[in-house]
Structures are given as C-alpha cells and as structure tokens.
Structure 1
Amino acid sequence: MTAPRDDRRVRLATWPTPLEPAPRLSESIGLRAGDLRLKRDDLTGLGAGGNKIRKLEWTVGAAVADGADVLITTGAPQSNHARLTAAAAARLGLDSVLVFPGDPRPFVGNLLLDALLGTDIEWIGPIDGGSDTQTELDAAAQRVADRLRRQGRHPAIIPFGGSNSVGAHGYRLAGHEILEQAPNVDLVVCAVGSGGTMAGLVAGLGADHVLGVDTGAVPDAADRVRHILGGMDGVSATAALRIRTDQVGAGYESLAAGARHASTISARTEGLVLDPTYSARALAGLVAAVADGDVVPGTDVVFLVSGGLPGLFGHPQAQDLTVD
C-alpha cells in the first residue's frame, strides 16, 4: 500500500517527544555513561500517555474520515491501547466500546481510567484454552459493530494494539524523528507487543538498527512484525529482524524476572518508573543484550519508553516489585 494520507490523520499529541540522557542507568547495565538515551513516548499526554497514540493518529484518523461515530477495539483488561482508544474517542467527541475477555473485575489500573473516560466495556466471558484469544475477541468486536449498525450508528473497529500497516506509519515517522534528534544512533530498543511499533521503526530506520524484545502478547512476534511490514510501501518484509524472545517469562501477564530487575534499576538510577509488561521487558532485553555482547559499550542506543504505567497499578504481581 502507499503511505497513509496526511489529511486523514488526527493530531492527538505534541511532537517530538523528548530524548533524554540516562548516564546512571547506562553505566549500571554495562554501557558507557553517554551511550544510552531515553525516547520518552510515555509523555505523549492524551489519556495518561503512551506509544499507542502515534498509531491512533492514523487508525482513528482513517475511521473519522470514513464517517465513524463510535470506535471499537479489543485487548486484555489492562490494555494500554484500549485505554488510549477511549481517550482518543473522548477527545474527538466519539463514543467507544472496549471488548475484553473474561468477566467484570475491579476498576484498577487501566480499567479505572477506562471508566473515567466514559467508554463502554463488553466482557465476553472466559475464552476456552484451546481457542485463539484474539480470533475470539475479533469476532466479538464484529458482533458489537453489527449491533451498532442495526441501531443506525457508524462504528469503526480499531485493530488490536492499533497495529496494522496504517498505524505502523506513526512509528515510521517516529524513526525519522529519532534520526533528527540523534543522527548517529546505532540502535533503537523497543518492546514488541502487537508488532506495529517495531514494524514502523524498522520501516523508518532499517532492520539492523532496531532491537525488539518480545513481551509474549502474540504467539509469533517476528511473524506479526513481518506481516505488518508486508503492507507498508518501500519496505522489505523479508529483512532479518532482531528480536529477543528471552524476556517473556511465564507469559504475557506474568512479572518476568528480567522485567522485575529492570524496573528496579531504572527507578533507582534515573527515577524512571516502567510498566512491568512492555517497557520493563524491553529494558531487560537490552540488559541481556549487553551481558551477552550483542550490544557493546560505545554503541549509541536509544531506548523507547513506551508508557503503560497505569497498568502497573492493575498488575496482579505489582507488590512483588517492592521486595528486594
């Protein structure tokens, strides 16, 4: 496909986000003091911030251009993307529906913000362990859309994580933004969830300059990123991707040991509090890459802080972070 049209984009944040030095963190993980900088995409503002806004500017923009009056999306109950879709809808005067697996639960973390933002939540009940969760959620979202159309509404389904070739264009532009701030950057490190962030960065910077860290959000992170790249113009979907898969731990919703350690060192060296699902796993991947020699001192590294902090307050193992 060709690049999305800029006139179908909605502006939801102020760009560029800051690029900050992190000398104490850099030295604590085995790099030189000047090697590591933080790309603060947690400071995008809308709805408590986070990287999903870059994608939503394009996916929601396309929906609005096509006449949508209600946005529907899916995710886990503590989904950052779902929270920011609800925030984007509120900003634009639209309604929103979030489709989650499982049964209603206490309003903590992102769920509390979802309620504050005025979205409707559709709980579809437990999903059979033999079923594909995202397939079930997609089918449920389509049923919601069909119901709303019968009521005379004009729904638009925003993809899981905002991650398709349209949404990934937001991170292609972010790659260009990083090059303007750090022209000599060697490596950008990011979490890989639904795949759109890494795909966009690869499109903007090249596969050799992006290290993704799998969070366990999808069964095959590399396949997901390649699928998104395949829909972007001027990009090879067969390039060798740099993705670490060693930080998933017991699963997406678990507090992985590496992420726990990364959360502690980022907080105690730079006062930077990371969410345990995405940014902490990504930092853990960078720590591991330095330890095994894949990233060496003298490398100009940008670490993408992708936001998601509200999820910390809804994480079932959050208290484990306080135990040394």
Structure 2
Amino acid sequence: MKQSKLDLSRFPQASLREGFSPIQHRPRLSRELGGPEIYVKREDLDGLGGGGNKLRKLEFLIGEAQASGADTIITVGGRQSNHARLTAAAAARAGLKCELVLSRLVPIEDEDYVNNGNVLLDVLFGAVIHDIPGTVSALDFAEERAAKLRSQGSRVYVCPLGGSSPVGCLGYAACAAEIDEQAAERGLSFDRIVVANGSGGMQAGLVAGFIAMGKAPGAIVGYTVLAPLEKALATTFEKTQKTLELLNPDLSVPADAVAIRGEQLGSGYGLPTAAMREALSLAATFEGLLLDPVYSAKAFAGLIHEIRAGVLQPKHNALFVVSGGTPSLFAYRWALQ
C-alpha cells in the first residue's frame, strides 16, 4: 500500500483497521437515478466490531489513550450509538476496560430499539453500560464516573460524543488522503463527496485533510442528521479549524469550506423519514448495499434529491461515504416494515 501524502506519524495511533476501504462503482443505481456516476466509499467494511467510520477516529483516540497510560475508556452516545459499539470493540481489541454512557435521546422505547442492534453488541464486547435519561448531560455523567474510577486507582480516558475531538478527526484527514490517492490511481475526480454529519468529525476531518494537502474541499457536502443546520455548521467549522491546527497551524479554513444542508434531518435525530426509507430501499434493491437508518440513509436521500433537482448530472462523478451503522437496522425493524 502506498504511503498517503499526509504524514500523521507523529500522532499515536492504534491499529484497528485493515488498509484502505474500497471505493466501488454502483452502475445500476447510477442508471436508475439517471444522474451522475455514483461511487461509494465502503467505511462499513472494516471487520472490527461490525465496521464503521468511527474506527478511523478510534485509531487515534485509542492511540492517545494508550500513550497516556489509560486502562479504561469511557465514551458517550445515544442508546443505539455506533460510536459506542465500536469504542467497546476497539477497547476489547486494545485490552482496555470500557464504560458507555448511553442517553435516551430518541423517543423510541420498543424492545428492539432498547436492547437489540448496537446495544446487544455493546454487551457482547464486555462494556459496562450506564443507561441515562436524555435530559441528563452524558459528558458530565462520564466525567463524574471517571473521577470516581480515578479515585479508586484507575487511569481513565474520556472520549467525546462521536469521537469527534480534533485528535479523533485526524482519522478522516487520513481518509481524505486515502480518497485522493484512490481517485488518482483510477483517473477519477469527484464533483461531489457526500457524507452524513452527526457529531461533525467525519466532515471536519475530510475538509481539514484536503486543505492540508493543498486541495480544494468545496466538493464535500454534509447532511446534518443530529443538530439544527446553524449549529451543525458552527460546530463542524470549529472542529475543522482545530483539526487543521494539528495538521498545520499555519493554515486556516476558508469561510465557505464547510457546506452542510439541513433538509434531510426530518423531525430529529434517529427519527425516520420517508426520504430515508426510499434511499435505504433503493440502495438495497439495486445494489445489495445496506445503509443505516440514522446516518447514511438520510445523507443518501440528500444525494438523491440533488440528482433529481438536476444539480448533479450524468457528466458528474459523485462519491458517497457509507459510514456504517448496519447493526442499527435491527433496532429499527418497526420503522422499516
């Protein structure tokens, strides 16, 4: 595997992934939608813990935790958090104890949502789960729990929502270099790179990575699935700038470098929409491609809307980043029937 053009060797890093995730052409879906040639970046194919985009962040976060001498990692998320699942899996791989603070952020209380999907895997990976109401600050709870464990002699590393600290975002700066190399090898250029925007780390890392490599990041568009649009923009821009400071403190993020759209959020985080269901169905029935209902399917619905509106045309190439989250499909059985 060729070295990327972005040198991240000065940052501690755990080995959790198996090389580059593939970029695959999806011709049947491209023809069905009648727009650009659609390519997908398969972040869901990493083997550890069911796969997903959080593993890139966790390579740097676990690396930092190990470098600090931690023996325990605590993180936060919603009840069906993909990040929590993969933190538990990564901790198991690294030999760290893991505690998860899971908030009831989504007003769904059926048995599948509460105990199936990611939660089932959290338990299998050996994590200690703290189930808290959505009205309680998960990060405050995590810090209080960390303080208690430290008083008992543990060395605790607290990981933020989605792993989207500047250090975690470095994982997607590395992904930007990976995309750049893969595109060059195939003689491709992408007119649009579409991502889901939850905690903002994936988009922040990609934008920072492209800027650090001297590339224009304007083709990257995120669809917020968690926060209202203005908040998502502000949070992602701040994370992009802080990540870029780690990569090259002499560079800054242009004001228009972070593009996010809000029309696919629907009623809120984790709540189904008709456009999400259609996107999930189209990807599955035309390509056998599984998207998750919380992140990828909503972002893919945004790409479909751009195609139908004529923004993206047959002469274009579009890259959709499949962020993973497949286990959460089993928590949304009621919404998909």
Q: TM-score, normalised by structure 1?
A: 0.90
Deviation at 1:7, TM superposition (A): 5.1
Shift of 1:67: 0.5
Contact residue 249 and residue 257 of structure 1 kept, 8 A: no
Identify the match of residue 18 of structure 2 among 14, 29, 51.
14
Q: Where do residues 304-319 of structure 1 align in structure 2 (5 Å cutoff)? A: 304-315=321-332, 318-319=333-334
Aligned counterparts of 2:132 and 2:222: Cα–Cα separation in 1? 31
Shift of 1:216: 2.1
| 2:283 match | 266
Equivalent residue number for residue 214 of structure 1: 224
Residue 83 of structure 1 is matched in structure 2 by 85
- Distance in 2 (CA, whole Å) between partners of 1:159 and 1:263 is 29
Task: Tell me the matched-pair count.
Answer: 310
Q: 1:187 aligns with which of 158, 167, 192?
A: 192
Distance 2:222 2:117 in 1: 26
Deviation at residue 284 of structure 1 after TM alignment:
0.3
> How far off its partner does 1:295 sit?
2.1
Residue 54 of structure 1, CA deviation: 0.4
In the alignment, is the contact (CA less than 8 A) between 2:199 and 2:226 conserved in 1?
no
Query: Shift of residue 217 of structure 1?
Result: 4.6
- Given the superposition, is the C-alpha separation of residues 200 and 26 from structure 1 closer, same or farther in structure 2, using an over 3 Å criterion? same
Give the alignment's TM-score, normalised by structure 2: 0.87
Among 217, 224, 227, which residue is 2:238 paired with? Answer: 227
Aligned to 1:130: none
- What are the superposed Cα offsets for residues 69-94 of structure 1, whole Å, 9 maximum, x if unpaired? 00000000100000000001000111
Determine if contact 1:41/1:305 at 8 Å carries over to the other structure.
yes
Amino acid at match of 2:236: V
Native 8 Å contact 1:107 1:115 kept in 2: no
| Aligned counterpart in structure 1 of residue 305 of structure 2, from 257, 267, 288 | 288
Which of residues 230, 252, 256 is equivalent to 2:273?
Answer: 256
Q: 1:201 aligns with which of 194, 197, 206?
A: 206
Deviates further, 177-186 or 279-288: 177-186
Aligned pair partner of 1:23 in 21, 27, 37: 27
- Secondary structure of 2:141's match? helix
* 2:48 equivalent in structure 1: 46
The answer (yes or no) to whether the contact 1:193–1:218 under 8 Å persists in 2 is: no
224 and 124 in structure 1: CA distance in 2 versus 1, 3 angstrom threshold? same
**Residues 73, 179 of structure 1: alpha-carbon distance in 2 compared, 3 angstrom cutoff:** same
Residue 70 of structure 2 corresponds to which residue in structure 1?
68
Partner in structure 1 of residue 117 of structure 2: 109
CA contact (8 A) 2:207 2:257 kept: no
Secondary structure, aligned partner of 2:133: coil
Check conservation: 1:82, 1:98, Cα contact below 8 A.
yes
CA RMSD of aligned residues (A): 2.0
Q: Who is 2:97 aligned against?
A: 95
Asked if the contact 1:215–1:278 (Cα under 8 Å) also holds between the matched residues in 2, the reply is yes
Q: Shift of residue 235 of structure 1?
A: 4.0
Q: Which residue identity is paired with 1:99? A: V
SS at match of 1:75: strand
Partner of 2:335: 320
Between 235-244 and 116-125, the greater mean CA deviation after superposition: 235-244
Specify the alignment match of 2:3 in structure 1: none
Q: Give, in whole Å, the separation in 1 of the partners of 2:92 and 2:174.
A: 25
Percent of aligned pairs with the same residue? 41
